[in-house]
Amino acid sequence: MMNGEKGRLSGLIALLAFTVIIVAVVIYYTSSSKTSDAEDLVSLKVLQTEFMDGSVCFNEGADCFDIAIADDDKERARGLMYYENLKSSEGMLFIFDEEGEHAIWMKNMLMPLDMIWINEIGEIVFMYQNAQPCPADAGVESYCPSIINNNNKPAKYVLEVNAGAIQSIELREGDRIAIRMRNV
């Protein structure tokens, strides 16, 4: 072979090797993210059936909800996404590191919810009734508004329950609650 042909062959081999490496990297990252999504969906299915982290009770213990707890950034971001339904006695308690005006969104929700903001001493400081799911269709997926406690009363907790619960148990701002946690 002549030097020109050897150089061209070497260049083609180098280009082929580079292409193979790029394809391998893309396949690796694509397959690992699919595994991660699949694992998240499996954990969501488990969470859907286990509301055993504790309870939140209103009206001096007359009305209680079994709760799942969301107390880190990942759990709070996921919340009740993709849950198809809650029993009337179930809810999710979001626990924040500090009191504040914490925003909650309805991204990828499949059901309407009532939301109750609670301060660190167990007093209801804000309520939002019948928050509607944020549809996941193409036109709305990029924007899903947040619901925020905007009355300047800080909260440490937000409880999400089925829509209609606030009215059903006649909750009012200023009512006190009891939070009981199990092995959290």
Query: Would you kindly state where each structural domain of the chain is located, as residue ranges?
Result: 1-49, 50-181
Q: Identify the residue with better confidence: 36 or 56.
A: 56
Band (30; pLDDT cuts 50, 70, 90): very low
Sheet holding 124-131, edge to edge: 124-131, 113-118, 155-162, 90-100, 63-70, 54-58, 178-181
Band (31; pLDDT cuts 50, 70, 90): very low
Amino acid letter for position 121: I
Band (83; pLDDT cuts 50, 70, 90): confident
Chain mean pLDDT for the chain: 78
d(CA 127, CA 71): 20
Indicate the fold that domain 50-181 takes in CATH.
Answer: Jelly Rolls (2.60.120)
